[in-house]
């Protein structure tokens, strides 16, 4: 497969990874059982990506402390970096996407990065952890990301807020719920809680973007 460098053994998994939710058939308000979109694989790929990047950073920076590795992982798996990687490998051109979504610039900002996570989930199910780690490390990170430059960039607001909470001995948590808007518009409402008390909320097409926007507002309110 041109995208991963591996010959797929389970082709249908990759088709699912490249199928946006906008093209799945809807019956009685529910998606049909015979046509799956890439959201479940996106969930799996997100977790695998975090694990692989953490593993990579642990091995490549043996003398760096936990805080450094946490910040670096946050930067590497950010929405902007994943969108950049998806663009570099031309991921969107292989996808099944409804024309309405293709014409929506806001929606297209997150389609690629979500599909990349789904693709990672597909590689993991088809080839296992080791080959997935090689795909992420060699095909994506080493080829298209400059880790030295990433180290110099500003830390994400979410990571900054978590770092503050650790020093202040506060518990930070995010709670999310899906909000349906129209036929093909699924939004995520994220509530930011400090010590179980809601501070604020944010809504976005991407749960991670909503968390980042909520964290940015919280950093302003808390002067972090």
Q: Catalytic residue numbers?
A: 46, 117
CA distance 125 to 136: 14
**Token digits of residue 159:** 């990571």
Q: What is the DSSP letter of 181?
A: -
The widest CA-to-CA distance across the chain, in whole angstroms, is 56
CA distance 99 to 196: 42
> 188 near 206, Cβ under 8 Å?
yes
Give the dihedral sign, CA 8/9/11/14.
negative
Residue 202 φ/ψ, nearest 5 degrees: -150, 150
Centre a 10 Å sphere on the Cβ of residue 36 and count the other Cβ atoms it contains.
18
Q: Which of 184, 223, 45, 34 is nearest to 122 (CA)?
A: 45
């Amino acid at each position: 497969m041109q995208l991963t460098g591996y010959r797929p053994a389970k082709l249908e998994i990759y088709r699912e990874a490249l199928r946006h939710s906008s093209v799945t058939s809807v019956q009685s308000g529910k998606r049909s059982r015979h046509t799956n979109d890439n959201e479940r694989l996106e969930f799996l790929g997100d977790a695998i990506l975090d694990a692989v990047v953490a593993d990579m950073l642990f091995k490549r920076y043996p003398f760096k402390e936990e805080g450094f590795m946490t910040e670096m992982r946050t930067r590497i798996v950010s929405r902007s970096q994943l969108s950049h990687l998806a663009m570099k490998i031309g991921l969107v051109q292989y996808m099944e996407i409804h024309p309405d979504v293709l014409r929506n610039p806001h929606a297209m900002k997150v389609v690629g990065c979500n599909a990349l996570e789904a693709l990672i989930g597909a590689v993991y199910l088809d080839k296992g952890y080791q080959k997935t780690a090689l795909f992420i490390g060699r095909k994506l990170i080493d080829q298209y990301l400059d880790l030295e430059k990433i180290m110099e960039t500003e830390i994400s607001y979410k990571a900054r807020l978590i770092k503050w909470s650790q020093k202040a001995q506060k518990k930070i948590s995010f709670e999310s719920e899906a909000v349906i808007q129209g036929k093909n518009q699924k939004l995520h409402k994220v509530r930011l809680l400090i010590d179980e008390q809601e501070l604020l909320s944010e809504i976005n097409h991407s749960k991670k973007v909503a968390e980042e926007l909520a964290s940015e507002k919280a950093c302003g309110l808390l002067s972090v």
